[in-house]
Amino acid sequence: MKITIQENERGFRFKNGVFDKMLSAGVYYVFGQTSVRKTTLDKPLHAVFDRATLQVFAKDSDFKAQTVTEKVEDGTISLHYVDGRFHDVLDAGVYTYWNAAEVHTFQHYSTASPEIPDDLSPSLCEQLHKAGKLTRLLVGETQVGLLHFNNHFERVLPAGRYYFWADAGVTVGARFVTTTQQELSLTGQEILTKDKVGVRLNFVCSYRITDPLKSFQEIDNVEAQFHTAVQLTVREYVTGVTLDELLASRDTIAESLLESLRPKAEKLYIAVEDAGIRDIILPGDVRDIMNTVLIAEKRAQANVITRREEVASTRSLLNTAKLMDENKTLYKLKELEYLEKICENVGNISVSGGDLLAQLREIVGSKE
């Protein structure tokens, strides 16, 4: 029987079921109990033959010269490169490839520790991460990361991208802490003032964590504790003043709150930058009473202004009357002024003979 083996193929000849030799490209004739099994060079040999068969093939010098076998021990991985380009990752096991058409090379790494070597490039690390071989941690530009192995603190990670072996048998995790200024808002805080008036407050403060490591190691849930400290500080202040004092000190309350809050925050490794009450919301009945008081105050102010203007107007009339009594010419001018005003508003004036000027004087009430 004629057997043709192509350039991209290799054949394995068996006589009476026993391996005889490997056949390269060419034409062969077989007879009797002889058989040939072919495979292509692009298929990994470990995917086609079992390990025992490959060990038998390895006794053939041609086979050994044209193949490469990679053995990966437990606790290690092997990075598989084809013609110098990364191809895949090999876990523990034995792998055999044709090394005739392509050159297969390997690089071993221990995964006993989660730390990766420095010679792995970022692009290769990203490929290994996508393949599930690396754990990736991303620390934001405004953050620091507190790295933990099996829930034990390891070190502080500055902003950046970090990779760790995923198969190291170690749980890798991190807590991310924002180091820039943040804002805390307390909304709808219902508090009784010193005079037992219930008010609702909206409070806001700006803060930043000064020592992320110590705040994490020494304090359980620092954000929650700071939130509680702010609440207690606001309540302590509001319960110590009356409603009128609270409303009157709204512009200066920030200084008092900061003075009380900063010592508490420093114990939590937090620096408070600014604080203040944004809104004071009064109950409906109290708001109505204050509106009534405000309206009464404004009305009283309006009455005072009205009386003052009336007094000034009366004083002016009195002064004018005195001048008119003392000066007849001024009286006549004033008389003519009123006559002019009357004529502007009267369509017709009826007179019945006699002296016209005398009748006009009588109409305006002339004294002469």
Q: What is the pLDDT of residue 174?
A: 93
Instruction: In whole angstroms, give the CA distance from residue 298 to residue 286.
Output: 18
Sign of the Cα pseudo-torsion (351, 355, 356, 357, in order): negative
For 115, which DSSP code?
B
Read off the pLDDT of residues 109-119 as tens digits, 9 standing for 90 and up: 999 999 999 98
The band of 315, judged by pLDDT with boundaries at 50, 70 and 90, is confident
If you classify domain 182-282 with CATH, what class do you get? alpha beta
Instruction: Tell me the CA distances in angstroms from 6 to 59, 101, 209, one per residue in order.
Output: 23, 13, 70
Mean pLDDT of 141-160: 92
Per-residue tokens: 101: 């058409």
Question: How far separated are the first and last CA of the chain, in Å rounded?
Answer: 161
Q: Which of 114, 100, 218 is nearest to 164 (CA)?
A: 114
Per domain, the residue ranges of the chain are 2-102, 122-178, 182-282, 283-326, 328-368
Instruction: Tell me the CA distances in angstroms from 300 to 287, 293, 295, 309, one per residue in order.
Output: 20, 11, 9, 14
Specify the amino acid at residue 40: T
Three-state DSSP state, 239:
coil
The band of 366, judged by pLDDT with boundaries at 50, 70 and 90, is very low
Read off the pLDDT of residues 1-14 as tens digits, 9 standing for 90 and up: 888 999 999 999 99
